[in-house]
Amino acid sequence: MSKASRVMPVTALGNPNRLPEKVLVETGTKAGWYRELDLAPLGRGHLSVVRGMTLKPTYYITTPIYYPTADLHIGHAYTTVAADALARFKRMQGYDVLFLTGTDEHGQKLESRAREEGVSPQAFVDGIVIRIKELWRLMGITHDDFVRTTEKRHMDVVQHIFAQVFEKGDIYKGQYEGWYCEGCEGYFTATQAREMDGHCQDHERPLQRLQEDAYFFRMSSYSDRLLEHIRENPQFIQPESRRNEIVAFIERGLEDLCVSRSSFHWGIPVPFDEEHVIYVWFDALSNYLTGAGYPDDLARFERYWPADVHLVGKEITRFHAIIWPIILMAAGLPLPRQIFAHGWLVLDSGKMSKTRGNVVDPVILIEKYGVDAVRYFLLCEVPFGMDGVYSEDALIARLNSDLANDQGNLVHRTVSMLHKFLDGEVLPPGAETELDRSFRERILATPERMGSLFDAMEISKAVNVMRELASFANKYIDEAAPWALAKEGQKDRLATVFYYLAECLRVLAIVSSPLLVETPEKLWSLLGLEGNPRSEGWSKAQEWGVTPPHTRVGVSEPLFPRIVDEEKKEEKKQPKVPQLTMKDFQQVEMKVGTVKTAEAIPKAERLLKLTVDIGDEVRQIVAGIAESYRPEDLTGQQVVVLTNLRPAKIRGVKSEGMVLAAVDDGIMRLLVPDGRVEEGSKIS
């Protein structure tokens, strides 16, 4: 292979989520001549170097481009944070990532809003775009390009494609008469208008009856071809429910699409008829080609196109899954690999929208709780593809439960005990016990599990896997009982326990890097490690023994301080309870027990059914702790049981005692002994 050789796009071959076995390499002897280069001997899933050239698989992910009629809300932030998490993950895997976002700045609605403000449309959008870019900076968004549809590079792309499709005969001039929603920038058939009762529910306004000269796009002639593509490529539209909706829509019959307007002028002119501006969806959707360098930078375009994922909200699935693929077909360009339509982040009262004026400002939330708390909530609370519900109370509960109580507590107690018992030094580990082995396997399984879920777009599940590791590590501390080891002078065993905990925290810093912005590097620095977790790469999280022995950890400060709502705390103050005599207290019997099994109770979201060994017998107990504990985390956990409570049936399940727990801001925390004791030991 000559020095002039260049690597052709690898995403066009094989699984886009892995380095392919072969790539095409231009020979350098004649343009357009290529030969296959076998990468299998170099190892899949790793960066490979051939004669000084790095071969990296590409990953192109996009968000919708946002409509700058007003500042963006937390729902827009959700889409962009999700895309950012995926882009960060793929970079850590060694991919050459192109992450695109931007703004859709044309259309009648923007022209009208600018007129209301008494400024030009360009001046109006310029001010909002500045604030959008600042929002993405605050949220740690790592986009590689930001396309504005008012940029010349984009306008050239749109006019190029429009002229190309016109010359092919797929765009023709006619007269449009029908129903239009300015909020959607969308046209509706007479049938659709009747189904909507002449009213757009999303924008809460009546449809307009329009009649004007226009250019039309022959979408109807591509319906069979598009259906065939969808059926042959099940992953093209995800989730499956959205794909089924699109297929049903196409099967009802597609009409030709109006692709120009002549009744207003804020838009990209039709290249051969300046009395018309190009319809906003034909304009906006083409931004994905603009970001990829089409048509001027063909080397860039060939490397990144087709896009791996167009991430969109479910309300614009039809435009992306029908109009956009047909535009590409007409232009003779490859279709994107996947269009993923996620659900909405809604309020208790319903959909969040600028029109309804019920939006939540992410800037205010970041100022109050920090960027990582907001990002974590968005990625954890919304099952990808489905709707999620936002409330500030839910955000605070998630921050306190997952971040402060689980991860934050794990870091604080590990580092604090390291200083207390080993003078802050991570010593070389000794012999591995069965408890250690189980912990190590759980740590090393976490990156692989999370990676598979990221690739499947199951971000909330990936977040949960990370949370489970923190919970498992806290349980490991309880079972290893380093305070008892220190008391017994077992320094070798202490060294092993804390080495395993240090490795766990190292892995947590790496796997949290796609999700969080500030915390991973804080944790990395606290562990006394060099560099930063993002530059380590995802594969380092799957290696063991990376923490250098004799590393000294820093002084722990809470990574996630608990949020306390003073007003609610005051409201929850309980009235004084009557004082007991010693005789009264002696009538209460409490014993230490060990949870043998735990399972959910159907149709009882807060309840778990436990079997607890209390020494002389095993009791069945119903406990209202399901909102704070998962069944799988409780097996083997020691608890304190009130044993002489009269048996009762709760939701039809017999309960023979009570598990004691403390409640703080709605979060349950079990009362447990400070170190393991024999089952049946009495509390006195």
Catalytic-role residue among 56, 160, 351, 491: 351
| Cα 315 from chain centroid (whole Å) | 19
DSSP code at position 347: B
For residue 281, give both structure tokens.
């969806």
Tell me if residue 200 is catalytic.
Answer: yes
Catalytic annotation present for 310: no
Q: Alpha-carbon distance 166 to 215, whole Å?
A: 10
| CA distance linking residue 625 with residue 641, whole number of Å | 14
Catalytic residue among 76, 106, 143, 276: 76
Q: Are strands 96-103 and 145-148 parallel, antiparallel or unpaired?
A: parallel
Name the catalytic one among 143, 154, 181, 591. 181
Which tokens go with 377?
Answer: 């909530």
Phi, psi torsion values for 683, nearest 5 degrees: -90, 125
C-beta neighbour count of 619 within 10 angstroms: 20
List Cβ neighbours of 406 (8 Å cut-off, separation of 6 or more). 467, 470, 471, 474
- Where does 479-624 show beta strands of DSSP type E? 551-552, 590-601, 604-613, 618-623
User: How many CB atoms neighbour CB 431 within 10 A?
Assistant: 8
**Burial zone of 163 (CB within 10 Å; 0-12 exposed, 13-18 middle, 19+ buried):** middle
Active site residue 76: yes
Active-site residue, from 143, 154, 184, 342:
184
Please tell me the distance from the alpha carbon of residue 424 to that of residue 548, in angstroms, as a whole number: 14
Residue of 421, 440, 435 lying closest to 545 (CA atoms): 440
**416 vs 520: CA distance, rounded Å:** 18
Beta bridge partners of 277: 261, 269
Spatial separation of the C-alpha atoms in residues 92 and 648, rounded to whole Å? 54
Neighbour tally for 47: CB within 10 Å = 17
Let me know how long the chain is: 684
Catalytic entry in 200, 258, 380, 504: 200
Q: Is 73 a catalytic residue?
A: yes
504 carries an active-site annotation? no
- CA distances in angstroms from 671 to 37, 593, 605, 641, 642, listed in the order given: 62, 11, 21, 9, 11
Q: Are 13 and 303 in contact (CB under 8 A)?
A: no
Q: Which two tokens stand for residue 149?
A: 């549809």
Q: Is 52 left (phi over 0), alpha (psi -120 to 50) or beta?
A: left
Preceding omega of 206 cis (within 30 degrees of 0): no
- Residue 320 falls in the annotated catalytic set: no
The helix-helix angle for 74-92 and 434-455 (nearest 10°) equals: 120
Alpha carbon 156 to chain centroid, angstroms: 33
Of the candidates 160, 229, 314, 354, the residue annotated as catalytic is: 354
Reference 189, options 249, 117, 255; nearest CA is 255
Q: Is 351 a catalytic residue?
A: yes
Q: Pairing state of beta strands 618-623 and 604-613?
A: antiparallel
Catalytic: which of 22, 56, 160, 203?
203
DSSP state of 350: B
354 has catalytic annotation: yes
The catalytic residue positions are 73, 76, 181, 184, 200, 203, 351, 354
